[in-house]
A and B are shown apart, each in its own frame.
Chain A
C-alpha cells in the first residue's frame, strides 16, 4: 500500500485498502475558517447532535476576512466565537492568536504525522508535508464530522513524483510544485494522491514540503504527501501536541503514474494568468510591469519565506510604481520576523508589514487590485478576479522572485538585484 492508503486504512479499522473504495474513516482533526464555518455551524445544528464528537479536535480559525474587514465579515467571525463558547471548544483562535490556518496548525503541533485531517478549506492538503493525510472538504462534511468524528472518502489512486538532480540557486519548493502543475495541468491529478519523493525532497526543509503539498489541490489532487523522515522528526518532536506515527509506502505499492523531474532543468518558475498551470520561466517575463507584490499566504507565509524575501530586499527600496505587502502567516512568525530585524528591513524598503490574514490571496482585503492592475504574489491561485477586479491579473512565484520584482517594478529574478 501507499502511505495514503495506509493512513486511510488505519483510520477506518482496516488492514488492507485499495484505490476506488468508498470508506468511512475517523478523523483526528477538523478545521474550518470564517468563510466555511458559518455554513458548517448552521448545518451542524440541523443534525440535532447532543454535542460535538470531541471538543479538542475541532479548530475554528477566523483568518480569511479577519481582522474583521466589514460588518458582514464580523457577523461571520462572531458565529465561530459564539459556537466555540457554546460548545466549549478548545481550538478557537481569536484575532491576536490566530494565523493563516495551514501555517498555524502545523506550527502549533496540532497536526502531527500520521494524522487524518479534514478541513473546509481546499488548502488543507498542506499537512501532507508532515506525512499526514489531509484534504479539503465542504462545510457540510465538516458539520457531519463535528457530530460523528467521521467522514466519507473515496480512496484515491496515487501518483508518484520523483525529483532528482541539483536545484538551481533560489529555486525552492514553490518552483517545483509550479513546474509540476505546469507539466500535468490543473486537473492532472484529479481525485488522486500526489506523493513527492527523491534526492531533492529528502533534504527539502519542512517549509518547502508544506508549500509543495499545499498546492496539490491546484493540480486537482485530493492530497499531497511526503513520507516522513528525519526532517519530519526534527520538526515534530518539540511541538507535537499528540502522539504521532510515521507511515511509509511499500515497495510494491501501486501508482497509476510515476513522473521524474531533473531539477537542474527547473528554472525559477512563474504561473501566468489565469491558471496555476500556465507556467513560464521568470527570466522570460521581464517585460511584465507590476503594480503590487504580495508575500504571504498558507503557501509561502512561513518564516523561511519572509527571510528569503528580506534577503533580497535588504537595503533596497520597493519600486515607486509598486506597493509591496508582506504578511507573516502567524503571530509567532510575525514576532520572529520582528526579532530578526526582518520587519525593519521591509518597512525601511517602504513595504507594508501586516498582521496575519489570508486577506489579498482571495481578494478579501488588505491589498485588492483595481481594474487592469497586475500583481505578483507568493500565493496559490491566479484565477480571474482572484485578487480583486475581474480584469486584474495575478502572477504566482516564490518569495525571492516576488521580492526581486518589487524592486524592479516588473517581473524579474534575484540575480538582477543582488
Chain B
C-alpha cells in the first residue's frame, strides 16, 4: 500500500480532546465528527484539511481518552495516515483495530515539515519525503498487528475466528 500526500504538522502530546472535543461526542457519526477534526489544536484545521492529506506529530499522539471517535474522525476527514514519534497506547490499538494506518518514526517526525509532500510504503515501512528528497524508516509493525491489518481490522479478524471455531 502506497500513501502519498501533503503533511499537516502537530507537536507533542496531542490529546484526544484536541483531536475530537468531548462536546461533540453526543454522536458517533463519522462525518459529523470529521467536521470538528483537530479543532481545539487548530480551529481552522477542519476547513484547511483535504482528503488525502497526512498528519505528522511529535511524541505521545492521541493521549488521554480511549474514545475511538478520535481515529474515526481522522479517517473520516480523509486523512490517509498519521506519522508520529510515538503514540499513546489506546490510540495505537484503536488505529489498528479500525484500519487507520499509523507509523512510528522519530526520524520522520523530526524532519518532516508542514506542507512537505511524503510517500509512505506501508508494507516496507519506508517514508519518503518527496519535497526534501529524504527517506526515513518506520518502526516495524509486529506480525499480529499485520494480521489485523490484512484481515481488514479487528471486527473482520474476529469474524474469521468465530467462523473457524
Contacts and interface: CB of A to CB of B under 8 A. Distances in A.
A147 B155 CA distance: 10
A192 B63 CA distance: 14
A42 B72 CA distance: 14
18 contacts: A39-B28, A39-B68, A47-B158, A49-B162, A64-B22, A72-B26, A140-B155, A143-B155, A147-B158, A186-B63, A187-B59, A187-B60, A187-B63, A217-B90, A220-B88, A383-B18, A383-B40, A385-B17
A258 interface: no
A384 B40 contact: yes
Contacts, number: 143
**Centre residue among B67, B68, B93 by max chain A CB count within 10 A:** B68
Interface stretch (A104-112, A131-139, A348-356): A131-139
Contact of A140 (B22, B64, B88, B97): B97
Interface residues of B, number: 43
Interface string B50-94: 000000000110011111110010000000000000101110011
B93 A137 contact: yes
Given A76-B26, A138-B97, A35 B67 contact: yes
Nearest to B89: A191
Given A65-B26, A220-B88, 15 more contacts: A22-B142, A36-B67, A39-B28, A121-B66, A122-B66, A138-B68, A187-B13, A187-B88, A191-B89, A217-B90, A275-B13, A364-B22, A381-B17, A384-B41, A388-B23
A90 interface: no
**Centre residue among A39, A121, A138, A390 by max chain B CB count within 10 A:** A138
**Centre residue among A46, A220, A383 by max chain B CB count within 10 A:** A383
Interface of A: 22, 35-36, 38-39, 42-43, 46-49, 64-65, 69-70, 72-73, 76, 119-122, 124, 136-141, 143-144, 147-148, 152, 154, 186-187, 190-191, 217, 220, 222, 275, 362-364, 381, 383-386, 388, 390
Nearest to B148: A152
B66 A144 contact: no
Given A220-B60, A222-B89, A364-B23, A141 B13 contact: no
Contacts of B155: 43, 46-47, 140, 143-144
A274 B94 CA distance: 24
Interface string B122-165: 00000000000000000000101000000001110111011000
Nearest to A385: B40
A220 B94 contact: no
A190 B89 contact: yes
B22 A363 contact: yes
Contacts of B159: 46-48
A76 B159 CA distance: 25
A187 B86 contact: yes
Given A36-B66, A122-B65, A362-B65, A138 B90 contact: yes
Interface of B: 13, 15, 17-18, 21-23, 25-28, 39-41, 43, 59-60, 63-69, 72, 86, 88-90, 93-94, 97-98, 142, 144, 153-155, 157-159, 161-162
Contacts of B162: 47-49, 147-148
Contact of A72 (B22, B27, B153, B158): B27
A390 B43 contact: yes
Contacts of A36: 66-68
Contacts of A152: 144
The 9 closest A-B pairs by CB, nearest first: A72-B26, A138-B94, A187-B60, A362-B22, A140-B97, A122-B66, A136-B66, A138-B68, A144-B158
Contacts of B90: 122, 136-138, 217
Nearest to A391: B40
Given A120-B66, A147-B162, A190 B43 contact: no
Contacts of A38: 28
A34 to B, nearest CB: 9
Contacts of A76: 26-28
Contact of A141 (B59, B65, B154): B154
A36 B67 CA distance: 7
Contacts of A138: 66, 68, 90, 93-94, 97-98
A144 B97 CA distance: 10
A362 B90 CA distance: 18
Nearest to A187: B60
Contacts of A220: 60, 63, 88-89
Contacts of B27: 72, 76
A163 to B, nearest CB: 24
Contacts of A187: 13, 59-60, 63, 86, 88
